[in-house]
Each structure stands twice: as structure tokens, then as C-alpha cells.
Structure 1
Amino acid sequence: MKIRSASVIRCPPRWLLLRLESSDGEVGWGEAIGDLHEEVEPALKAMCDRVSGTDITGIERITQEMHKGRFWRDGPVLNTAISALEMALWDLRGKQVGAPVHQLLGGPVRDKVSVYRNLWGRNPEEFAASGKAALDEGLEMVKVSPAGPTSTTPSDTELQGILDTVMAVRHAIGDAKLAIDLHGRLTPAASRRLLPLLEPFDLSFVEEPCLPDGSVHHLRDLQQLHLEQRIPLATGERLLSKRQFADHLFPSPVVAVIQPDLSLVGGIRAGVEIGAMCEAAQVALAPHCPYGPIQLAASLQVAAAS
């Protein structure tokens, strides 16, 4: 089975899909990061031209050629294009053999996959209502981004605003699981002020407590926070490569939860390999999945097999 045609489909505001059609008429789908569509679409189209006529069974060879055959590597534009291509190739391969992708990865290790919903709102009351609605729909965990446009060194008033939002959501959802995402907005010092104040809310994790710039200084700061604080910390959505994840996990972990984005790190196989690193480091894996249905389907395959 070979790739006969490829096309890029944008579904505003945030979905950017890749459609591969094989020589026998099967269709495989992948998804790139839609936030970067103006830059990613040309990269995807150029990549599609290069893989036309290629045998789909060489998934790893194709993706390595796309990555290692370039002088510039590991930028978000190239990585997300490769990730979408890799997802679509796995989808085609599964259809070729008549099996879900997680079976091709070794089979499921669990029958159910835990999920959570990210809540949106402009004030504590709206966040609380969003959390209650999520539980009414059957979800058992939610995540809230309470910091808004908070400065890197928030004032007492800004800190209280974060606490008010978290408190409102906690009251609305009762004993359901709750996590928060700070989007890397705080300095390490500001995180040290905030994190102890969040302990009464029984959080599953706090995501990106400080800016993940990839430097050795960030890794040092994050590990210190991880060791000092009682609340589990999470990061990973902006990391680009398995090497970067390895730096966060070895020789000792800097967080308790790792969140690879399959539309950024190289696709499905990279997600499984990062999951294996997490297992070795005794760190939880929680694929980052804020975009469309193809990314969700790919993330479920990785979660089922990891």
C-alpha cells in the first residue's frame, strides 16, 4: 500500500488536519497544532509532496527521513508537521491490517482511560458553573487555568484571585478530581508563595508552575519545587523531543506528571517511548490534548497501550 494523495484541511479556529489516501482507497488522518496554521500548512504541504508514492509500512523510516534529513530540527513547525504525518500513517496501517493502533503497539494495558476537561470562564462563578456542567456530563476530573493575565510576580490581590477561582471550582465539584494549569506564568519564587496556599484544595497536580524555557536553570528550579512542595507538579506540553523529556526524567524526575503533546513530539510512537521513560522514572503519563478529534484518538491509543 502506497500513499496516493495527501491534503491539508483547516477547521477554524484550532484544528489542522492531514488527510492521506492510499493506493487502495483507504484514508488516514493526522492532526497538527492549529494555533500555528499559517506556518504549519506550507510545511505540511511540502512534506506531502515528498512522501507521495511512498510505501506506508515504513512509518519510522519516513518520519526519521523527514526529521533527520533536515539541517534544522526540533522546531515546533517541523515537529508538528511530522507528528501529523506519523499519526496519519499509523491510521492507514491500522486500516490496512484491520486492527486499532493500540493493538499494533502491543495491545491495551488497561480497559479504560481517565480523561479530564479543561474549564473556561471569566470569573470564579463561571469557572464553577463550567466544572459543575462537566460533572453532570459524566466526567470525574476537571482542570482550571485560574491565573489569567497574572504577572510573573503576582500581587497579593492577584494571588487571592487565583485562590478564589480554585475555591469556587472545588466547592462546585465536591470530591471530584481537580488540577490547575498556571501556563508557566510565575517565577519560581512566586510559585513558592502560591503552591502552599493551594494545598487545602487537594489538587491532582499543578501544571507549568514556572516558564518551561528548556534551560538547565529551569530544570533546576522545577526540580527544587518538585522536591519542596507537597502538590504534584506537571509539565511537558511545550517540549519538542524525546531528549528533552529524558532531561526532565533522568537521572531523577523534576515533576510527578509528564504531558507530551502527540501533535508536537513526533506522533504516536514518540508518545509510547516517552511513556516507557515515565514508567522507568516512576512518573505518571498524561498526554496533552487540547485540539481536535484526531489528536484525541491518537492520545487514546497511546494511553491504552502505555
Structure 2
Amino acid sequence: MSLQISAACRDALQDWLNRKSALADSSDHTIAAYRADVAGFLAFMAEHRGGPQGLAALDKITVTEMRAWMAQARSTGLSSRSLARRLSAVKSFYRWLAEREGFAATAVLAARSPKFQKKLPRPLDPDAARAVIDTVELQSQTPWVAARDVAVITLLYGCGLRISEALGLKGADAPLRASLRILGKGQKERIVPVLPAARDAVDAYLRLCPHPQEHDAPLFRGVRGGALNPRLIQGAMAQVRMQLGLPASATPHALRHSFATHLLEAGGDLRSIQELLGHASLATTQAYTAVDTARLMEVYARSHPKA
């Protein structure tokens, strides 16, 4: 279907993707998804109208055509969640294109996203989280590899790091201090306190690691000395799940969910947890923590100045 897209539309799409990649620091996977979503939309419109459409024609898309595109996507079995993602990508492209070309993309931007129930994160309970840390050490017979995996897992749960953030630490970050400066998604910087248990785990790994600690080299190494592949940590977690009888949702990222949820359950306030996680929106933090509405209302009543 991409052959139906005009050269002008292809060029505009590439310009938008280049801008997304440069300004939003989007991953290659995200850029590829944007490309597929918007190219699919443009191809549908070209086929729907009987041939490739220039940029001027994109200003003429109607509400009826938007409904036809969404109906066609639905007919292929696409879920509401996936369709909402596609529509979001198309709207983002159109906002940029409308500003560049000087037209009003009313029909596209007014299209309503299909409703879907967001999947709530499923954190581990505190006992299970501690058991994971205790058990991950048993997954390797090589002492320094076992210590490495314990250190990574402890950082994920003890500091609420994303796995990419933990594996992005450099030799210059060691020995870990009382806090870490983390550069997260969208180049958003945050300061994260480091628990003594996490510092001790990293120190234990460094004492055993056979590879020299270098200032600009990855802190966590693979067996051959290169950067540690996140799949190895995911694999270790999969083995731990089997041994402990945990559900498939017990992934490395679930430890970050657990960090946030357990902090809130212990009396932490949402705003502080938002800062620790590096979320841009407080609403994201609320959805991220698996605490019931009654608990949220309790936090609200205790912390709101007019409560």
C-alpha cells in the first residue's frame, strides 16, 4: 500500500519522523511504529480516493473519511488500544503538517479516540520482591555474574529505575553515592536516592567483576566485557518467576511498579514519587501505582491543605 503514497507525502512523513527523532529523543522502535501508523493512514486515503494524494489534498479529509479509515482498521481485528495509538500518531503528524502548510486539520484532530480499559500495572508484593532479589543470585554459577544480576535487580526495585537506566550507568558512577543523577525518557533529568542495600550490591559486583572499571565504559558488563544485554536480566527474571511460582507479569519493569506502589503504601506522597520515577504527569504516576481508590483518597485527605 505504501506505493500509493505520493512523493510529497512520503517526504513530509520523513521530515516529521526526523523531527520526532531529533527533538523527542524517540527510540528506533517508536519511530518505526510512527512510520507504519502514518504511512498506513496515508495509503488508505490514497486508495479510498482512487490514487496518490498530494499535500493539498490532506487538507480536504472529511469526518466521514476518518470514520471509514477507523472502520477499515477495526474490520482487520485491530484492538481499540492499537487503533487509539494509530490515531494518536496521525494526529501528531497532522498537527505538525497543518502548522507547516498553513491549513486547519479539523476533521483529523476532532476524530475521537476509541475507548479502552487501560491495563493497570501489577507490582509484586513486598515479600515477593525481596524473594526475587534473594533468588536471582542463584541463577548463575559464576559468582560475579550472580552478583551483577543482584545489583541490577536491586537498583530496579530499590531506586525505581528503568532497566535501560540501570544498564546505562557508567564506570564513572561507581562507587554509587547517596543519590544518582538519572537521564530518563525525553532527556528528563532526575535525582534518585540510592539505598545502602543498592550501593552494597553494586560494590559486591565490582569486587568480583573480572573486567576493569573504566570511566566511560558501562558499569554492568556482559561475560565478554561488553555492555550487558537487557535480555540477560529478563532471562534471569524468567527463571526466578518459575522457581517462585510468580505470574508472567513479574518482569524487571514490574520491580519499578513495585517500588512506586510500596512507597505510596508506606505513606509517600504522589508528587514525590512522580519526581523519583521521572513521570511528566502526576496522572501517569497514579495509574502506575497499584493502590486502590480508598488509599489514594486517604493520601489526598491527609496532604491537601483544605482537607
Q: TM-score, normalised on structure 2? A: 0.30
- More helix by percentage: 2
Rg comparison, structure with higher value: 2
